[in-house]
Amino acid sequence: MFGLMTAAIDNILLAPALAQASAGEYLPAAAVVALCAVAAFGTVLLLPGPREGALRKIGGGVLLAAGGVLAGLIGRGDAADPAGFYFWFFAAVATIGAVRVVSHTIPVYSALYFLLTTLAGAGLMVLLWAEFLAAALVLIYAGAILVTYVFVIMLAARAQQEHDTHSREPMLASAACFAILGVLLVVILQKGSAPAATGDIAPAASPDATRTLATELFTDHIVAVELAGVLLAMAMAGAVVIGRRGAPPLAPLAPATREIIGDDNPHNIPVYGIDTARRRQA
């Protein structure tokens, strides 16, 4: 079915353009720009806004079609299909999950679709022979960061509100972002001239890939590892300070202590926290 689709696209739509484009790029820039314009139109329809559900579904369909055409065009030369089925599967799941993250009106569903995107990304990592990174993505992103997001969503969000169902400037944002995507794709899909180095990182089934990564981290990038630890500690302390509800009011000093110390806040340094003033009044 995939072959039929690519053959149809080749023969019917783009044969003359493709013949011209084989010189310097894998895909003619005009095709990329046209696809980005169509996708931007679909995105504007799909983003949350004061329009009915049918229009949003049409927008989603247009976006899906544009993505499918792009995938077909990129994958058309795969006689032996070097990317394999799994790449297309994980790429499709990641892209569709990402689009649903930004276009779903219920925040919890956005977080769950982001979980799906992260798992698809972990699959792509495995295909790129980065198994430790795949496990780290699942553990850290899906397991820690997303759970924190779901907690905060449960804490701070109520049932469907206006700020979920309306977007700000969908047309400008889509135009800008798909312009950026168009430029990126045109640059990516050009034929390079430098050949890749021979050899490879490690055999695919080697059990030592993690060991190699760890050795490299702790010899070549040891300073960065230490700084990363410091950064995490600082972020944890910062998050605790930011989210604090304020220190409880200081207990009054005993008279004997006050004779010795005098005033314990002579410069009137304010006690940190937004609720302290309220507590003092109560």
Partner 1 sequence: MNTFGEPLLQRYLVVGAVLFAVGLTGFLTRRNLIIMFLSTELMLQGVVVNLVAFGRYHHNLAGQAFALFLLVVAAAEAAVALGLVVLLYRRRGSIDAEAWRELKG
| Residue whose CB is less far from partner 1, 14 or 39 | 39
| Residue whose CB is less far from partner 1, 2 or 129 | 129
CB of 261 to partner 1, least distance (A): 34
| Residue whose CB is less far from partner 1, 62 or 91 | 91
CB of 263 to partner 1, least distance (A): 31
Phi, psi of 190 (to 5 degrees): -100, 150
CB of 17 to partner 1, least distance (A): 18
Q: Residues 6 or more apart from 131 whose CB is under 8 A from it? A: 125, 209, 210
Query: Are 34 and 9 contacting, i.e. CB atoms less than 8 angstroms apart?
Result: no
CB of 1 to partner 1, least distance (A): 19
| Residue whose CB is less far from partner 1, 155 or 256 | 155
Nearest to 149 by CA among 116, 119, 112, 123: 112
| Residue whose CB is less far from partner 1, 50 or 266 | 50
Q: Residues 6 or more apart from 160 whose CB is under 8 A from it? A: 105, 106
CB of 118 to partner 1, least distance (A): 7
Total residues belonging to the chain: 282
